[in-house]
Amino acid sequence: SIQDVYTLANGVEIPVMGLGVYKNVDETELETAVTSALEFGYRHIDTAKVYKNEKGVGKAIKKSGVPREDIFVTTKVWNTDQGYEKTLKAFDESLEALDMDYVDLYLIHWPMPGTYVETWKALEKIYEEGRARAIGVSNFNPHHLQDIFNECDIKPMLNQVEYHPHLAQPELKKFCEAHDILLEAWSPLKRGRMFDEPLILSLSEKYGRTPAQIILRWDVQTGVSTIPKSVSRDRVRENGSIFDFTLTEEEVGEITALNRHERVGKDPDKVT
Ligand code: NAD
């Protein structure tokens, strides 16, 4: 069901399917998205300080009446807030905006050269204080993760990266699996730019599902957590309705083979 979970390395459960809210700045739109998602059974919301909508997310969650502890809330520390002290301060600001006393997952948004190791140490402190139930990273390549392994005590529990059939991240995925780091897909729908892929269209026809549903089902069957974004009530429902059909192993492999290392977002090794 839409409330299926993965278990992170520290035992905390994270719902497989979440709602992404990137660029939802309009309060009404945001509220529609979050409210619809919760109504259709989503229990996982992905925001970030830089999205400037943590306050709206917190309000919409309260208004929904779904208990806080039933919802998995992720937020992230932005690039300009990185470093030990600045991260601690940014985290306090995020909690205040969300009007919550903990988050479920706190992530380093991008591996800022020179600061991400110190930033991670701040996340460790936040985790040890129980103010984040889990901590992780985003847009980290194996060499970034290796730096954390070498210099810190706690391993990231999750890595949120761009992931879709045109960017299937085979090496990174294998590396994360070997280290018990869950991969989570951002831009899982490639921002709508791969619905015309012939294989996706033929599977869409075969299963009587939309191309978006075929792609999101592939996420789940490849063991990845996914956070598609939509502000439309119908699409939020559509994206969450992927737990009642199964692609064959062969079809999953065929979709993975569409990989062409093509990004819609920034390259993590070029972030400054
Ligand atoms: P996405 O792949 O989820 O695409 C979203 C767009 O696809 C929507 O704006 C809509 O136009 C379209 N769409 C959604 N559902 C559809 C459907 N059923 N049918 C047709 N079109 C549909 O892209 P995204 O918003 O970039 O990524 C999802 C989430 O990932 C974000 O909201 C954010 O939470 C997160 N994210 C994180 C990072 C990061 O650096 N960590 C970067 C980008 C996004």
Q: Is residue 238 part of a domain?
A: yes
187 lines ligand 1 (CB under 6 A): yes
Q: Is residue 11 part of a domain?
A: yes
Q: Is residue 97 part of a domain?
A: yes
Domain span at residue 48?
A: 5-259
Q: Using CA positions, which residue lies closest to atom 18 of ligand 1?
A: 235
188 lines ligand 1 (CB under 6 A): yes
Query: How many other CB atoms sit within 10 Å of the CB of residue 102?
Result: 16
Q: Is residue 272 part of a domain?
A: no
Q: Is residue 268 part of a domain?
A: no
If 0-12 CB within 10 Å is exposed, 13-18 middle and 19+ buried, where does residue 99 land?
A: middle
Ligand 1 atom at shortest distance from the alpha carbon of 188: 2
Q: Is residue 176 part of a domain?
A: yes
**How far apart (Å, rounded) are the C-alpha atoms in residues 66 and 238?**
21
CATH of the domain at 199: 3.20.20.100
- Does the interface ipTM go beyond 0.90? yes
Q: Is residue 141 part of a domain?
A: yes
Catalytic residue among 42, 51, 106, 163: 51
pLDDT tens series, the chain, 272 aa: 999 999 999 999 999 999 999 987 788 999 999 999 999 999 999 999 999 999 999 999 999 999 999 999 999 999 999 999 999 999 999 999 999 999 999 999 999 999 999 999 999 999 999 999 999 999 999 999 999 999 999 999 999 999 999 999 999 999 999 999 999 999 999 999 999 999 999 999 999 999 999 999 999 999 999 999 999 999 999 999 999 999 999 999 999 999 999 999 999 999 98
Q: What is the domain count for the chain?
A: 1
Backbone angles phi, psi at 9, to 5 degrees: -55, -25
DSSP class of 229: B
Q: Using CA positions, which residue lies closest to atom 36 of ligand 1?
A: 186
| pLDDT tens profile 172-223 | 999 999 999 999 999 999 999 999 999 999 999 999 999 999 999 999 999 9
CB 191 within 8 A of CB 148: no
266 lines ligand 1 (CB under 6 A): no
Q: 3-class secondary structure for 120-173?
A: HHHHHHHHHCCCEEEEEEECCCHHHHHHHHHHCCCCCCEEEEECECCECCHHHH
Q: Is residue 13 part of a domain?
A: yes
